[in-house]
Amino acid sequence: MRKHIRRRLRHTKYIFYQETLVDFKDHFWSFLGAFFGIGLIAFLQSQHLTEIENVFLIGSFGASSVLVYGAVNSPLAQPRNLIGGHVLSALVGVTAYKFLPDILWLNASIAVASSIVLMQITKTMHPPGGATALIAVLPAGKIQALGYWYAVSPVMSGVLILLLMALIFNNIPKGRKYPHHIKQNKYFHMRRMLKRKY
């Protein structure tokens, strides 16, 4: 028992050390990825849309950048989650607005709650997806005028730009790899088999 506790304590200290470690190279690549990802979306918007329209650059892309460039190994930052979470949530948000256009408190809560459940069902959990669903129902005329096209552009096109920059900048340094594949050890498989038996 004492040996088990000591092992757990060593493991906890190591995790704490890793989480508080300042890695300037990692910060540098996170900065570059986010800079070029958001910068490219904003540049395309400035070239093709007037400043008043301001549709292509949505707020949830900032939150996605934190995950995709700053937490590369997170399951929530992987390509399936990034694309699926945003696109499915956008579709849910537009649908909620179409069915309840005049009741903001209801369509906002239905959009976000439904997008969470849909991301859980499809295994595409990406927290900024909730914001994407909410943006679709907020009273800002231009987004609602797009209808389901909102899921294609700005959402899908913007997410693909973020993904492209993540694939480039997260794979240049040796210590980073994107997408991150979690290796499951033999103990994980044993636990799964035991759960099936009992």
Span 141-154, pLDDT tens digits: 788 888 999 999 89
Q: For residue 107, what pLDDT is reported?
A: 93
- Please give the average per-residue pLDDT across 167-183, as a whole number: 87
Up-side HSE of residue 106: CA atoms within 13 Å toward CB?
8
pLDDT at 175 over 90: no
Tokens of 68: 């995709």
pLDDT at 12 over 70: yes
Q: Is 90 helix (H, G, I), strand (E, B) or coil?
A: helix
DSSP classification of residue 76: G
Report the Cα 106 to chain-centroid distance in Å: 25
Q: Which stretches within 23-156 are classed as H helix?
A: 24-48, 60-65, 79-99, 104-122, 128-137, 142-146, 149-150
CB-CB neighbours of 8 under 10 Å: 10
With beta carbons less than 8 A apart as the criterion, state whether 36 and 169 touch. Answer: yes
Percentage of the chain modeled with pLDDT above 90: 61
pLDDT at 183 over 80: no
Q: For residue 108, what pLDDT is reported?
A: 96
CB-CB neighbours of 134 under 10 Å: 20
Q: For residue 52, what pLDDT is reported?
A: 46
Tokens of 82: 């990034």
* Angstrom distance (rounded) from CA 114 to CA 3: 46
* Angstrom distance (rounded) from CA 117 to CA 32: 33
Q: For residue 15, what pLDDT is reported?
A: 66
Q: What is the pLDDT of residues 63-103, one digit of tens each?
A: 999 999 999 999 999 999 999 999 999 999 999 999 988 89
pTM tops 0.85: no
Tokens of 84: 């699926």
With beta carbons less than 8 A apart as the criterion, state whether 112 and 70 touch. Answer: no
Is the peptide bond prior to 75 cis by the omega test (within 30 degrees of 0)? Answer: no
* Angstrom distance (rounded) from CA 143 to CA 135: 8
Percentage of the chain modeled with pLDDT above 70: 83
